[in-house]
Amino acid sequence: MIQPPYLQRGDRIAIVSPARAVSFDELHLAMKLFRKWELEVILGTYVFNSEDQFAGTDAQRTKDFQTMLDDQSIRAIICARGGYGSVRIIDRLDFTGFLSHPKWIVGYSDITVMHSHIQRQFGIETLHATMPLNMTENHFDNASIETLRKALFGESLAYSKKATSYDRCGLSEGILTGGNLSILCSLMGSHSQIDTKGKILFIEDVDEYLYHVDRMMMNLKRAGMLRELKGLIVGSMQGMKDNTIPFGKTSQQIIADAVKEYKYPVCFDFPSGHGPENLALIMGRKVKMIVGEEVELGF
């Protein structure tokens, strides 16, 4: 895998909106934070546009992203927020300049489209991490933001947490892949679908019905995408919903059941995704995973 250059003070970074609309009021604190890190913030021309729920038309969102991909002075592209819309522009983008001069692509949720496509097609690392929409002044020093800073500036990332009753013990190493479960399933059969063979898969989701979670896990399983993993990391499964007639299992139970026949280590409730904490993960980077009484994850 190809690692983009780490940031240094004085570098230029871009904020673009490839998916849902966002306002200046929702971004100005993040801009203040990045300037505190001594970075120069460049905004996409259409970053505050709106077209229905999108941040401008497909053409406008594509132009903003393409401009920042092509600008060699931009060292990282920070996606303002998720929502929906990245899949509508991914095939419009020309990554030729990006391949010659890789840079960090940052975001989560709908930005899983970018992570998956870039890893599968180009073998370049990206950063699954918190986004400007989530940044508030009272939380400038929280773990989500601090791990984003560490990842961008090349400081080491190592995490530990207590194991859960659903975890499966073991030790493994592999390239990290994945992201939002719904997005991963929506990309199946396309040239943006991830290759999970020999990889450590990370999944997370928000506001899904439990039977949807089961259907998505069955989809991954039937496609052979769970069979040859080196490990599975389950992040936040926030705000799961149920029907009047209950599905009968929690999201943890659904996922554990889907992978029960395999032998690789499994970690649940890792603090990354849509939950209160969203620790930065370097997608495409080799990660060491140890699951015992404690869970340890190191890049």
Average pLDDT of the segment spanning 214-224? 98
Residue 185 confidence (pLDDT) above 70: yes
State the pLDDT at residue 2. Answer: 98
Average pLDDT of span 147-160:
98
The whole-number average pLDDT for the span 150-169 is 97
Contact 131, 108 (CB under 8 A): yes
Mean pLDDT for 3-14 is: 98
What is the SS3 assignment for 62? helix
Residue 136's pLDDT is 82
Q: What's the Cα-to-Cα distance from 292 to each of 100, 166, 169, 202, rounded to whole Å?
A: 42, 11, 5, 18
Residue type, 274: H
Decide if 222 contacts 290 (C-beta within 8 A): no
Q: For the whole prediction, is pTM greater than 0.85?
A: yes
For 241-287, the pLDDT digits (tens) are 999 999 999 999 999 999 999 999 999 999 999 999 999 999 999 99
Over 80: is that where the pLDDT of 288 sits? yes
Contact 12, 44 (CB under 8 A): no
Share above pLDDT 90 across residues of the chain, in percent, rounded to a whole number: 98
Q: From CA 212, how far away is CA 215, in angstroms rounded? A: 5
Q: Are 203 and 232 in contact (CB under 8 A)?
A: yes
Is residue 139 very low, low, confident or very high in pLDDT (cuts 50, 70, 90)? Answer: low
pLDDT tens-digit profile of 50-106? 999 999 999 999 999 999 999 999 999 999 999 999 999 999 999 999 999 999 999
To the nearest 10 degrees (0 to 180), the angle between helices 251-258 and 210-222 is 10
By CB neighbour count within 10 A (0-12 exposed, 13-18 middle, 19+ buried), where does 122 fall? middle
Residue 141 near residue 150 (C-beta atoms within 8 A) = no
Length reported for the chain? 299
What's the whole-number average pLDDT of the chain? Answer: 97
Mean predicted confidence (pLDDT) in 285-296: 98
**Residue 137: pLDDT over 90:** no
pLDDT of residue 245: 97
Per-residue confidence (pLDDT) for residue 150, from 0 to 100? 98
How much is the pLDDT for 255? 98
Domains within the chain, CATH numbers bracketed:
12-153 (3.40.50.10740), 158-298 (3.50.30.60)
In this predicted structure, the answer to whether residue 140 has a pLDDT above a threshold of 80 is: no
DSSP lists the bridge partners of residue 16 as 79
